[in-house]
Amino acid sequence: MNAIYGLNQVKFASEVIGWIDEQGLQPAGTAPTQVDVYAAQVKDGPVATITSNPGKKAFTCNLIDLSTESLVNTIGGTKDAKGNWEPPEKWEKTGVMDISCDSGETIRFYNAKVTGNDFANGINSQGVLALALNIELLKDADGKRLKIFAKGIDPDTGNPVVPAE
């Protein structure tokens, strides 16, 4: 089957971040906006279409692993000697994000800006508290946003993964 499916692991800024809820990563971008240009001499439609806004590439997800390590690795902040987490002023970090899929592919976001929007799910007996994350796919210094690496290809080297002996 030629489908990409199943969230296996998420690495952000070279660190594995904790569990994402069962909804996985959901598209949250915006479509490009286009404007039609009309000429008085042309009566049957526009003479051109101009992209006025290129849109945004983004995903959302809920982080349910709220361990201190996962929070620091995902949106920053500090962990003290007793394991307590103190959030940063801005709940955001930017770095490379790799989405490892059960189907074997790895999706790399070259410059992911991860923002902790707010808490989600509540504190109750029906679910677990989560941190709602927004992931914007920004361009890196080379102008790249994302790449889907084929099954068995290491995104760091671009070469086939050599199994450990």
Query: Which residues are CB-contacts of 25 (< 8 A; sequence separation ≥ 6)?
Result: 7, 59, 60, 61, 99, 135
pLDDT at 161: 83
pLDDT at 162: 75
Q: What is the pTM of this model?
A: 0.87
Condensed to tens digits (0 to 9), the pLDDT of residues 106-115 reads: 999 999 999 9
Q: In the block, which residue shows the tokens 């982080």?
A: 63
pLDDT tier for residue 2 given thresholds of 50, 70 and 90: confident
Alpha-carbon distance of 75 to 141, in angstroms, equals 22
Provide the greatest CA pair distance for the chain.
Answer: 75
- State yes or no: pLDDT of 98 exceeds 90: yes
pLDDT at 22: 93
Quote the tokens at residue 154. 């290491």
